[in-house]
């Protein structure tokens, strides 16, 4: 996606700008100051002169009433502002400082699946380490106890996730990394296997809305996992996630009889 100055683009921007100002309780003066304070990202040369304010509050006010009357360069500044504050998704724009947009693949995922920025609250709420339980694909009488760690990378403005598994008796270690996003109150996790053994094997999780604990913190959720197994076989299983700061300590493949019955029922 890229900026194209058309009447349709201006009309859509007018709606998003009004909505942003209303939701953030932001005045025209405040918005003008915000743009000028973040000029290196929002209004770099040649869109604005380094010695002058990038945009005046009267210009912003006029755009919200008559968008077609605003100069094209000022419209592009407002467009970059709307990308900067997450009102518009545009993975082609890379910001040098502050909110970084350098992870284009995550931006493409957002655009491709029509992810709304309001879903980011759910993504932020699940940040942290979790123990993940699911039945082993090659040893059905065992349960894999791995770790999933959700995080927000403010340098690339993306939600990232890593997974770690171990079979201590067999000396096998698996590591995965990827991204996650939210759609309709469900979390979608997209991972790839790391190292020669996994060779970029894809894996997916669809997780239900996490359950909050007594402190209001999201602590547990369930869902389904889908992946390519050895030799290209497809494997899917139920999964249970529980928040645990010591999740890495519990990594292993464990016989069913050593797993709590409540956990077994949920996977």
- DSSP per-residue string spanning 187-207: EEEEEEE-HHHHTT-EEEEEE
The H or E element spanning position 110 is helix 104-113
Strands of the chain, DSSP E: 128-135, 142-153, 158-167, 172-183, 186-193, 202-207, 211-212, 218-228, 234-243, 252-255
Domains of the chain: 7-99 (no CATH), 121-266 (2.40.128.20)
The tokens describing 84, both together, are: 């900067």
Tell me the CA distances in angstroms from 240 to 8, 54, 127, 221, 243, one per residue in order: 46, 50, 16, 6, 10
| 0.85 surpassed by pTM | no
**Angle (CA) 53 14 121, round 5°:** 90
pLDDT at residue number 1 = 56
pLDDT tens per residue across all 267 residues of the chain: 568 899 999 999 999 999 888 887 888 998 998 888 888 788 887 888 767 888 999 999 999 999 999 999 999 999 999 988 888 877 777 776 555 445 667 777 877 887 877 777 788 888 889 999 999 888 889 999 999 999 988 767 788 999 998 888 888 888 999 999 888 778 899 998 887 777 788 999 999 877 667 776 788 889 999 998 667 788 899 999 998 877 777 788 889 888 888 888 888
Is there a contact between 179 and 91 (Cβ–Cβ < 8 Å)? no
pLDDT at residue number 184 = 75
Q: How many other β-carbons are positioned within 10 Å of the β-carbon of residue 148?
A: 25
Those residues with Cβ within 8 angstroms of residue 145's Cβ, 6 or more apart along the chain or in another chain: 131, 132, 133, 250, 251, 252, 253, 254
Looking only at Cα atoms, what is the longest distance across the chain?
72
pLDDT at residue number 100 = 42
Please give the radius of gyration of the chain, using alpha carbons only, rounded to the nearest integer: 23
pLDDT at residue number 222 = 92
Those residues with Cβ within 8 angstroms of residue 218's Cβ, 6 or more apart along the chain or in another chain: 125, 126, 210, 211, 212, 243
**Angle (CA) 153 155 161, round 5°:** 20
Q: What SS3 state is found at 54?
A: coil
Q: How many other β-carbons are positioned within 10 Å of the β-carbon of residue 65?
A: 9
Query: CA-CA distance, 213 to 156, in Å (whole number)?
Result: 30
Is there a contact between 210 and 126 (Cβ–Cβ < 8 Å)? yes
The tokens describing 191, both together, are: 């991972």
């Amino acid at each position: 996606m890229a900026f194209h100055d058309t009447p349709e683009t201006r009309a859509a921007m007018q709606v998003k700008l009004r909505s942003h100002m209303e939701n953030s309780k932001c005045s025209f003066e405040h918005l003008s100051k915000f743009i000028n304070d973040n000029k290196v990202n929002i209004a770099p040369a040649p869109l604005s002169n380094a010695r002058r304010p990038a945009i005046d509050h009267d210009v912003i006010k006029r755009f919200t009433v008559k968008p077609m009357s605003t100069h094209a360069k000022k419209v592009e500044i407002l467009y970059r502002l709307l990308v900067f504050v997450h009102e518009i998704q545009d993975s082609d724009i890379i910001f040098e400082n502050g909110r970084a947009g350098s992870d284009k693949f995550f931006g493409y995922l957002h655009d491709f699946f029509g992810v709304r920025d309001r879903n980011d609250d759910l993504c932020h709420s699940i940040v942290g380490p979790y123990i993940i339980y699911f039945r082993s694909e090659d040893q059905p009488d065992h349960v894999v106890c791995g770790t999933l760690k959700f995080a927000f990378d403010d340098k690339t403005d993306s939600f990232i996730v890593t997974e770690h598994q171990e079979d201590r008796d067999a000396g096998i270690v698996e590591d995965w990394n990827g991204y996650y996003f939210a759609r309709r109150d469900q979390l979608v996790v997209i991972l790839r296997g790391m190292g020669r053994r996994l060779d970029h094997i894809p894996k997916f999780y669809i997780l239900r809305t996490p359950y909050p604990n007594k402190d209001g913190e999201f602590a547990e959720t369930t869902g389904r996992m889908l992946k390519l197994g050895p030799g290209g076989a497809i494997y899917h299983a139920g999964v249970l996630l529980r928040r645990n700061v010591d999740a890495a300590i519990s990594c292993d493949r464990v016989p069913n009889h050593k797993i709590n019955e409540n956990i077994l029922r949920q996977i």
